[in-house]
Structure 1
Amino acid sequence: MGKQVFFLPDLGEGLTEADLVSWSVAVGDRVELNQTIAEVETAKALVELPSPFAGTVTQLLAEPGSTVAVGTPVIAIDTPTGTGTDADSPGQNDDASGGAPVLVGSGPLPPRPSRRRHLQSATVPRNGLSGSATTTPAAQLHPAAKPSTRKLARDLGVDLTVVDGTGPDGLVTDDDVRAVAKTSGAVPDAVVPDRVTPERETRTPIRGVRKHTADAVTRSAFTAPHVTEFLTVDVTAAVELLRDLRDTPSYAGLHATPLALVARVLLLALRAHPELNATWDGERCEIVTKHYVNLGIAVAGPRGLTVPNIKDAHLLGLRELCRELDDLAETARSGRTTPAALSGGTVTITNVGVFGVDAGTPILTPGEAAILCLGAIRQRPWVHRGELAVRSVTTLGLSFDHRLVDGEQGSRLLADIGAMLENPLRLADPDC
């Protein structure tokens, strides 16, 4: 048997650290090559960490909730062959004998193993890396639960180790936590709120997506000179079009939403206004115009605001956009968006209308020239064909980088988007 130590790898995009969310294994567990051993949260995504070794877990070298730098040892595994990185070695071993380590993002992944924890002892240093160790049952250190469920348990004062999970493979669910909270008398028997804060103040560490978002919007706001313009549009015809499309067989199972239609319209408008699908290269003093569109969609999820993008969205029709938007939102809200999906965007849409908000002044995604904001669609009195009528109306907001885009260019794009939404027959193809 040889003791192998796995050092946290670079999980993509040059990230230097990650937060350890939970362990999927305990000391004494047998692990296979590429088996998921932990979930870590980077500044961009929640990532399942696969094991680069096959063997028996001997040490967990970081505690859930801790921030671990790239290159830091996180787990020790005894392997039958002794291949891999020795505990005293400064880095990963490149020896391929006995099966080369396969890190995040490469190699085939086997079916996800059961996440049930064995009641074995796990020795975890208090500081995560060194110092005196204490022995605690592994199941108490990391019961199977999603990060959002762990947060709910903390808010309600529930000890997850006393909760019997009713989810797949014993996963502790939100309902399990609320049920324990009710029976323990932690909160009234009526309705268990999602958040209970008995203290006068709560301090939340800024990590992961929240930290990345704060850095990004600050950098964007103080680097790119923002200009925001607004246009109020009669979208009655667009709403009727979407209603008709939902009743057609080709859209069965899809969500034909105003966001999907606005996305399609933006993609069409960018054909005539490519200067808004560009980026500013200050080092080379160049404007880089993109001849493809990776369409970013701002999504509010349990980990905060993320902006995954649909690659080569300019090649998609409305049906394909509906399908891609459904998949994108489901993935983002489950916290499973990959770093690749969060990188390389060229233009963004944010939809504040889903929150009942009429308009906003969105901040540019760093490196992009424009972001379009869709407000709530409301029934309003409107002059239509010379007469006052009740129409479906919304407000669009367009923020753009004034280094790349002047007022005329931004105004023309916004006007074209409004014209197509007012009269969907202006769309380029019959299927939108």
Structure 2
Amino acid sequence: MKIFEEIESEVQCYARSFPCVFNRAKGEFMWDEDGNRYLDFLAGAGTLNYGHNNALLKKELLNYIENDGITHGLDMHTKAKGEFLQTFSDKILKPRNLRYTVQFTGPTGTNAVEAAMKIARNVTGQSNIVTFTNGFHGVSLGALAATGNSHHRDAAGTSLTGTHRIPYDGYLGDNIDTTEYLDKVLSDSSSGINSPAAVIVETVQGEGGINAARIEWLRSLQTVCRKHSILLIIDDIQAGCGRTGDYFSFEEAGLEPDIVTLSKSLGGYGLPFAVVLMKPELDQWKPGEHNGTFRGNNLAFVTAKHAIDHYWSDNHFSNEIKRKGQYVSQRLTAMADKFGDGKFTVKGRGMFQGINCINGEIAGKITKNAFTKGLLIETSGADDQVVKLLCPLIIGDENLKAGLDIVELAIQETCEDFDSFPNETLYFKAS
């Protein structure tokens, strides 16, 4: 650990929660240098939906490398890129009746968001983007302007402009439809909100606290966007690639976004990869207007293609995610009922769920307790008050149960450590 303390930046985050040195990983497990095994319910913050060192993907990747396949290709045409595009078109887009042009951006989610917002602004001629409370879209300056979290925003070192902030679904309570407010201010010439270029939204706010928008709210949001000729951008970077059950998190709502951003688990193997999907008429870029040295990660093209081939050629994998998601929901609801006494609530959908605690202190104690029992799990939310489950989607039933058993035991022991919970109400702002 000495070398990390000597020269690594203080900006490190996850390393503080899990103070050990990891050196091996497989499936839903990681091992440290001392041989201790941990169930991984963090999964690269949602980057490892198919698990660590997935054997199916590893075989294809090693074969590609062994045969001297292209590693880095900028945006040149390569066989690996072509095969990914064909597979993505045939097995993801066409079966869902989606017609998108694919833009390869720099290989991070925040870069995809930057590109998406630039597209919207350039095409519409408008400058502002509507964003939502508790939203998280990245930490480069453009994406950060669309992010709500003050911890990240305060690190910008400059003013963050170009966005309008609107309450997310549930932010003002369950009985208030905030899309009606959005419609009202867009219809009122004296509201102070000029006609925006686009709305950017996560259907489930991961870093914001596993806030899952209601299906009706999402549909209403799309209706408002169309009424006012505003582009709808879905940030599916963490919620996409199967995390909620369907490949895209907006499928259940029947949305047809103008622009979609994907990253994290898109590459399949944890390799950096991001794209922007846009309706063809929006593809008005001039050559090289948005580029990046590493937008041609051919190793990720290989594993992304085979992840789709292996897991998304039919509905079996999707149905399994939904089945496991129902089990997670049942278990978490039972925990909240057993230990919470109204102090815990369950949030999210599919395999993207968490337990909302009354404060970050309790959530932090739960995750630290879980780590001592061999489970890697983290918190999210405005005050880190949500214990967030992001285990690999390929996790076996036995290990899923084992991980949830640890969560339950950690909650029980944490509750016993408190003589009584603080007299606080649940966080409406994280809803």
With structure 1 as the length reference, what TM-score do the two structures score?
0.23
Larger Rg computed on CA atoms: 1
Which of the pair is proportionally richer in helix? 2
Q: Which structure has the higher relative contact order (CA within 8 Å, separation 6+)?
A: 2
TM-score (norm 2): 0.24
> Which has a greater percent of strand?
1
